[in-house]
């Protein structure tokens, strides 16, 4: 079973953390929650 990383917040910090985690550990399952309608797309 894959290790799941849950990120709360989809702006700069959240999406940077998600992309860094996935680059370093591609096997991780990343789930991000964002309360608003938009996420950062340049992290």
Residues that bind ligand FAD (CB under 6 A): 8-14, 33-36
Measured from the CB atom, the residue of 11 and 27 that comes closer to ligand FAD is 11
| Nearest distance from C-beta of residue 22 to ligand FAD, angstroms | 17
Residue 34 has phi, psi (to 5 degrees) of -130, 125
User: Do 39 and 10 meet the contact criterion of CB atoms below 8 Å apart?
Assistant: yes
Three-class DSSP category at 31: strand
Least separation in angstroms between residue 6's CB and ligand FAD is: 11
Taking the complex as a whole, the smallest distance from the CB of residue 9 to ligand FAD amounts, in Å, to: 3
- Give the ranges where 1-43 is alpha helix by DSSP (H): 12-24
């Amino acid at each position: 079973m894959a290790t799941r990383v849950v990120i709360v917040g989809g702006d700069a910090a959240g999406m940077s953390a998600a992309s860094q985690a996935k680059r370093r550990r591609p096997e991780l399952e990343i789930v991000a929650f964002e309360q608003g309608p938009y996420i950062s797309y340049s992290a």
